[in-house]
Amino acid sequence: MTGPIRVLLVDDQPLLLSGFAMILSTEDDMEVVGQVSNGQLAIEAVRELQPDVVLMDVQMPVLDGIEATRRIVPDSDAKVVILTTFDRDDYLFDALAAGASGFLLKNADPDHLVSAIRTVAGGHGLLAPEVTQRVIARMTGGDPAEGAGATEEDSGGDQQPGQGDPELRAKADLLTDREQEVLGLVAQGLSNSEIAGTLFLGEATVKTHVSNILSKLHLRDRVQAVVFAYEAGLAHPAG
């Protein structure tokens, strides 16, 4: 990417908009190109300003952040990070289904926020550590210790943990054994360098494997890869 990362801020609380803008203004590689207060304005701003990353609140008047994300992602190259105070399963999974590339809680520290924007702008997905277990639990039919509230009914009814969706398992057969191994480690939240160390590979080789995985499975980023891996039964929660 040439030039600074162009960021659009979307939140109905002016003080939060100002705070986020202040944090990002100190970063040489970032530029806040707009600040709007609801999802409908966000859609219009994305068309006009063409940001690289949209920091999107969930609960807003006129149009909420989930629906705005659902409309923005197919029609632009902007990556959406859902940013909310609400640590709730329905927001998380609705956001992922809508095409969000990341999900962070508003209590994340400034360094984490800045790092998240760089990660997403670079074409990668992310989830806040606080909610990663919820993805795993929902995809496998489990129930994380902190109480995600996922139930057997929520998790797909008769599908058992690790069994996987047959259609997705068939798609996964497009991957080589090594690519399936890499995908399983991606689903555990490991970075490329950590995967390289685990498999005794070069980091560039791991990066190539990840790119091949996303291409073969027609996935947008690592967040979608995580969801795919658990739904297909290729990854299992630790322990």
pLDDT digits (tens, 9 = 90+) for 131-188: 655 665 665 555 544 433 333 334 344 444 446 678 888 888 999 999 999 998 888 7
> Which residues lie below 8 Å from residue 188, measured CB to CB, with a gap of 6+?
235, 238
pLDDT digits (tens, 9 = 90+) for 225-237: 877 887 787 776 5
pLDDT of residue 84: 78
CATH of the domain at 48: 3.40.50.2300
pLDDT of residue 46: 97
**Does residue 113 lie within any of the structural domains?**
yes
Q: 40 lies in which domain range?
A: 5-127
The number of distinct structural domains making up the chain is 2
**Does residue 150 lie within any of the structural domains?**
no
- For residues 115-135, give the mean pLDDT: 73
Shared domain for 78 and 169, answered yes or no, is no
Residue that wins the pLDDT comparison between 98 and 191: 98
Q: Is the pTM of this model over 0.85?
A: no
Shared domain for 122 and 222, answered yes or no, is no
**Does residue 138 lie within any of the structural domains?**
no
Shared domain for 220 and 109, answered yes or no, is no
CATH of the domain at 220: 1.10.10.10
**Does residue 237 lie within any of the structural domains?**
no
